[in-house]
Amino acid sequence: MTSKQLYTELTKHLVEDAKPSEYLNRISHSGGFNAFPFSMLKALEKVPQSPVHHPEGCVWNHVCLVVDQAALVRQKSHAPTAFMWAALLHDIGKAKTTRMRRGKITAYDHDTVGAELCIEFLSHLTEDEAFIKMVSMLVKYHMHTLYILKSLPFANIQGMNAETKIEEIALLGFCDRMGRLGSNIEEEQKNYQEFLMKCQL
């Protein structure tokens, strides 16, 4: 299977499967993600995360949980295919940014680095520049749910609103938060609504 054929197959499973992670893990275990650019996904299996915030383990485990969560709500998205690809690629930047700092595992700037890697990844598979931009902007701003809820200086509502849809970021952020062991759906639904309110939607 060529990389573009795999991209087509993967897209089909992302937008149709109830649990896309089953296909993702099957392909990964069979070596389907060994070649570039899919090797960028394979690398996430070796990237650790803070056990406090991510008891599910490595980045790949988290991504699979997020993708399955996204599949449950993709009908709410304005662009389900881009939304599902963003769910798959949202933490792709962690492979380059994860560090041990003062005894803690961190991944500072993984959102902005991830947006650049997202463009590199998708550019090898499709010439649809509008689609690539849509996915990469969702990746770029996926941490803004946290930034805005905690009133952090990294928050950029104006930029987010100009480059993507705030409703899509809210939905992706909800899936990101739910894609971890021990998540509280009532708490995350409250955060989802609070984020939209703070963004004045």
The reported pTM is 0.96
Closest of 60, 70, 78 to residue 20, by C-alpha: 70
| 131 exposure class (CB count in 10 Å sphere: 0-12, 13-18, 19+) | middle
Closest of 121, 56, 53, 55 to residue 86, by C-alpha: 121
- Per-residue model confidence as pLDDT tens for the chain (201 residues): 899 999 999 999 999 999 999 999 999 999 999 999 999 999 999 999 988 888 999 999 999 999 999 999 999 999 999 999 999 999 999 999 999 998 899 999 999 999 999 999 999 999 999 999 999 999 999 999 999 999 999 899 999 999 999 999 999 999 999 999 999 999 999 999 999 999 985
Q: Following CA atoms 6, 9, 10, 11 in sequence, which dihedral angle do they give, to the nearest 10 degrees? A: 120
d(CA 153, CA 163): 19
d(CA 116, CA 110): 10
Note the residue count of the chain.
Answer: 201
d(CA 68, CA 87): 9
Closest of 157, 156, 188 to residue 72, by C-alpha: 188
| Confidence (pLDDT) at 53 | 84
Domain holding 14: CATH number? 1.10.3210
The total of structural domains in the chain comes to 1
**Residue-range definition of the domain harbouring residue 179:** 3-198
For the chain, where are the E strands, in sequence order? Answer: 99-101, 104-106
Partners of 106 in beta bridges: 99
